[in-house]
Structure 1
Amino acid sequence: MGNKSGSEFGGIMIRTEKSLYFAGDIVKGNIYLHIIKPGYHGNIVQFSIVGKEKTQWTTGSGKHRTTHYGKNVFHRDAVVINTFLDENLMVGQFVFPFELHLPPNLPGSFTYHHATLASLNYKVKARVISTSKSINDIKNKQEIIIREPIKEILQVSSKQETANLTTWCCKQQGVSSISATVQKNLYFPGEFVQITYEVDNSNCKLNIENVDIMIVNKLNLRSNSGSQCHLEFNLNALSHNGVQQGQKIQPSQSKGISLQLINSQYLLALTPSTTGNFVNSSYYVKIIPNFEGCTCCSSKPIVLVPITVLAVLPQDYAQPIVQPENWQPQAFQPLIIKSNSVDPFNNNNNNFKQMANPMNS
């Protein structure tokens, strides 16, 4: 059963009733312990949950090549599920139900691994702690996915940007402005984002050749040394004809666009937004005007309208726990586990909270 370190004496398995939870949810599950041989030195059954971020990326080349690493354990809780009276674990089958109350402000799970590593994951673990130097702990772990709950009010989202244009670094060409409105700020993967925008080029001497409208994902990473990596992925895009100098798109003529929230290159659904300390993934509607002439040293009125991508529940969201075959365990009362952490990024609690529920031998 399970991941059997110290398995000549038996095994342990931890299973939750669902694979995905929202921060603030109650995680229900069981720890199954099967001891098949006497002589195991250890009587403490421990439950723990760990939330961890990892990052890795490379900068430079040759002798100047540097690899940046980040590792951040931002959430950890450990609880003694049961302490057996006999320090030598007896043969038998045991089940320990538990209810874990998740803090409401945990960041969402995330994985990206393509030349750059960015992961934020959670694992629940069960172990019987060995008191012998020659015998390993009996242990098992399971990954669970945690998503961030809705933290914002559903509303229209708008942004406006204005810039002074120059060509060849110094020749003044006037002012151009773009405003954009997104129908709402909260979306599920695969939904269509309804976008309208207006352009005021009436005080500019440059033509806007075309306007690019896209959905982008910004991935911001940190390392333990404080280095940062900023990646931007264009997910879905289209282009419109521009606006001539001295003209503008009136509100009644505002351009309307519909872009689907997918990665159009690979036709993949998007991972929900996450707000970790080392791994932060956010989404924007981005509108870029492309002016004629050499404006490379000039700022442009580029509009970024933030949107939040929410989680879709998987089909096995409420899959029941299946216990091992030929299982006739001694069952214990459910243990309710409440996190000690208020701030998930400042929880280094390694102390075991003792449970006064020893089994009579």
Structure 2
Amino acid sequence: MGKLRGFQIGLDNLQGLFWAGQTVSGRAVVDLESEMKMREIRLTFEGKANVRWSESRGSGKNRHTVTYRASECYFNTELAVFGKGLSGGDEYTLPPGQHAFPFSFVLPPNLPSSFEGNHGYVRYIVKGTIDRPWRFDDHTVLAFSVLSPLDLNQLPLASQGAEATDSKNLCCLCCKSGPIVGTIKVHRLGYVPGESVYFEASAQNMTGRECGMSANLEMVTVFHARSKSRSSVQTINSIQHQNLNPGDTNVWSGDRIILPPLPPSYLTHCNIIDIRYYLKLIIDPSGPAFDLVVPIEIIIGTVPLHSAVQQYHQTLSSVRPSAPPEIAMPAPSYNESILGPTNITEEGDGEHTQGQLNFTPTYTYYNWSK
């Protein structure tokens, strides 16, 4: 019969992070309490993107649910590490104890970065299968992160500054108030996780109401199905400023937002998910009224601007004159996404599937905040 104590996949790269074109290597480990008959042990390497969400349509008896979906497959490769796929034959017996089966797989080029969202994902997994005759197969799953480089130096907009201004009037009992005017400005648009986004903002309140004032960093993800798209907005960070009294003008400078580990902008090489980041000045009038929102789109990459590196070097030299040159440019670390873990269990996974079923993608992070 054979009793399975454990079935796990381990990677030689303990961080589980790879760039497109690199080799994923490791071992599939099978731990048996007693001998087990099987056809083979195989690994499936899979990279894919999926988008899916449902919406209600109609009313009453005509109310129904419509599901929108799309998918992309980047690779799907099987590799036998024991049994039939290596030696032919129909049945093999594995003795009790722990058995390790090494493997390696070369990732194709031009892969999108890993991403887990509320309506879709880009996901890379290794799935191990013990193919057992006349019994349920045993499975184990391990997800790993893939990063697609986004070099800010290759994007002309990244080094440019930007400024945005907008205004609105409040209406109350058919009377129009004076305007609220807001402006936000950044000196460049391109950043990497770990950098600080410094901004300047100003607001003029010509209404009769007190207004709150804040700045938000938001990630806007657009999921594209075959016949429709859907957006999701997540606030990554928010800074509150002092309130703006009626008739007052306020200038806001000196604050910053440090970028946490996040997927790069655009999700290059994926055609069904798009990611954008916006720094927004938000002016919130008291009472019933819509906020005034003034956005600037910023770009989050994986390779920093040369000008930002030079500025970091100058700052380091001023605070640590004896610092050796080789530490002037910190290499990136790789940290788990601020967005947190996702359960990656799929249809068909059940009691015979083990492994890492909660997964958090890993992204570049430059610890420049110090």
What fraction of aligned residue pairs are identical, expressed as a percent? Answer: 12
- Aligned length in residues: 286
Q: Distance in 1 between matches of 2:93 and 2:287?
A: 82
Stretches of structure 1 lacking an aligned partner (at least 5 in a row):
1-5, 263-268, 316-361
Equivalent position of 2:10 in the other structure: 15
State the shift of 1:186 in Å: 1.6
Q: Work out whether residues 80 and 86 of structure 2, in 8 Å CA contact, stay in contact via their aligned partners in 1.
A: no
SS across alignment from 1:284: strand
Counterparts in 2 of 1:161 and 1:111: CA distance versus 1, 3 Å:
closer
Q: Which amino acid aligns with 1:304?
A: I
Counterparts in 2 of 1:126 and 1:206: CA distance versus 1, 3 Å:
same
Q: Whose helix fraction is larger, Structure 1's or Structure 2's?
A: 2
Deviations 1:300-335 (A, max 9, x none): 6723232427685249xxxxxxxxxxxxxxxxxxxx
Structure 1 residue 29 corresponds to structure 2 residue 32: no
Structure 1 residue 308 corresponds to structure 2 residue 305: no
Q: Distance in 2 between matches of 1:175 and 1:34?
A: 68
State the shift of 1:21 in Å: 1.1
State the shift of 1:167 in Å: 6.2
Q: Work out whether residues 217 and 284 of structure 1, in 8 Å CA contact, stay in contact via their aligned partners in 2.
A: yes
Trace 1:92-111 onto structure 2 (pairs within 5 A).
93=99, 95-111=101-117
State the shift of 1:188 in Å: 2.2
Counterparts in 2 of 1:279 and 1:39: CA distance versus 1, 3 Å:
same
Deviations 1:186-239 (A, max 9, x none): 2325x542112467x7xx987997553222232334456635143343631223
Equivalent position of 1:186 in the other structure: 191
Q: Which amino acid aligns with 1:196?
A: E
Q: Work out whether residues 159 and 181 of structure 1, in 8 Å CA contact, stay in contact via their aligned partners in 2.
A: yes
Deviations 1:231-288 (A, max 9, x none): 343631223566998x999xxxx742323347xxxxxx66444625555444321124
Equivalent position of 1:78 in the other structure: 77
Q: Work out whether residues 178 and 303 of structure 1, in 8 Å CA contact, stay in contact via their aligned partners in 2.
A: no
Counterparts in 2 of 1:174 and 1:16: CA distance versus 1, 3 Å:
same
Equivalent position of 1:122 in the other structure: 124
Bigger relative contact order, structure 1 or 2, given CA contacts below 8 A and separation 6+?
1
Q: Which amino acid aligns with 1:45?
A: R
Equivalent position of 1:259 in the other structure: 256
Equivalent position of 1:348 in the other structure: none
Equivalent position of 2:238 in the other structure: 236
Counterparts in 2 of 1:44 and 1:213: CA distance versus 1, 3 Å:
closer
Equivalent position of 2:42 in the other structure: 45
Q: Which amino acid aligns with 1:20?
A: G
Q: TM-score, normalising length from structure 2?
A: 0.56
Counterparts in 2 of 1:14 and 1:195: CA distance versus 1, 3 Å:
same
Stretches of structure 2 lacking an aligned partner (at least 5 in a row):
303-331, 337-370
Q: Distance in 1 between matches of 2:236 and 2:7?
A: 45
Equivalent position of 2:277 in the other structure: 283
Q: Distance in 1 between matches of 2:29 and 2:288?
A: 68
Counterparts in 2 of 1:106 and 1:179: CA distance versus 1, 3 Å:
same
Q: Work out whether residues 283 and 308 of structure 1, in 8 Å CA contact, stay in contact via their aligned partners in 2.
A: yes
Q: Distance in 2 between matches of 1:305 and 1:139?
A: 43
Trace 1:133-172 onto structure 2 (pairs within 5 A).
134-153=134-153, 155-163=158-166
Deviations 1:70-105 (A, max 9, x none): 463533321334533341225465623314335343
State the shift of 1:11 in Å: 7.2
Structure 1 residue 195 corresponds to structure 2 residue 190: no
Counterparts in 2 of 1:94 and 1:303: CA distance versus 1, 3 Å:
closer
Q: Work out whether residues 54 and 70 of structure 1, in 8 Å CA contact, stay in contact via their aligned partners in 2.
A: yes
State the shift of 1:29 in Å: 1.2
Q: Distance in 2 between matches of 1:228 and 1:241?
A: 34
Counterparts in 2 of 1:241 and 1:138: CA distance versus 1, 3 Å:
closer
Q: Distance in 1 between matches of 2:177 and 2:165?
A: 15
Q: Work out whether residues 160 and 303 of structure 1, in 8 Å CA contact, stay in contact via their aligned partners in 2.
A: no
Counterparts in 2 of 1:10 and 1:287: CA distance versus 1, 3 Å:
closer
Q: Distance in 1 between matches of 2:333 and 2:116?
A: 14
Equivalent position of 1:338 in the other structure: none
